């Protein structure tokens, strides 16, 4: 059995990306030895976005904490605001648009975790 680990976001270096957004990877194989999932927090700047992409084998859950936006799939546009939780199954393109005037902040979870969250992947 593994050891219980607590991670504080202030102790994790955020990964800044373009369009303007930052992601903190809190739980993964690289950070705490997790084998089956990854958890983190994303902050997307006002007027910015998480560009269109897809996950072929990973389930994804996003719990929105602050800000407003739209979760866009090939056939849906889901309004997002604090308290909305989106489940996104594997496959299919999606993107997240920050349509508000403040940071869009959300918790993300992948199961299984993405390859870049694993120890054997740079």
Domains and CATH numbers, the chain: 17-117 (2.60.120.10)
Whose CA is closest to 89, among 100, 75, 101, 103? 75
- Asked if pLDDT for residue 120 goes beyond 90, the answer is no
pLDDT band at 92 (very low <50, low <70, confident <90, very high): confident
Q: Are 26 and 7 in contact (CB under 8 A)?
A: yes
pTM of the model: 0.93
Q: Are 9 and 21 in contact (CB under 8 A)?
A: no
pLDDT one-digit tens code per residue, 6-53: 999 999 999 999 999 999 999 999 999 999 999 999 999 999 999 999
- Asked if pLDDT for residue 84 goes beyond 90, the answer is yes
Q: Work out the mean pLDDT of the chain and round it to a whole number.
A: 95
Question: What is the distance between the alpha carbons of residues 41 and 11, in angstroms, rounded to a whole number?
Answer: 13
């Amino acid at each position: 059995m593994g050891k219980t680990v607590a991670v504080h976001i202030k102790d994790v270096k955020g990964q800044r990306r373009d369009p303007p957004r930052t992601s903190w990877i809190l739980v993964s194989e690289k950070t705490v030895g997790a084998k089956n999932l990854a958890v983190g927090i994303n902050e997307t700047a006002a007027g910015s976005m998480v560009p269109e992409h897809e996950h072929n084998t990973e389930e994804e859950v996003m719990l929105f904490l602050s800000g407003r936006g739209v979760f866009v799939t090939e056939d849906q546009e889901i309004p997002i605001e604090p308290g909305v939780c989106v489940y996104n199954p594997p496959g299919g393109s999606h993107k997240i648009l920050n349509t508000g005037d403040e940071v869009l902040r959300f918790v993300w979870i992948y199961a299984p975790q993405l390859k870049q969250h694993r120890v054997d992947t740079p």
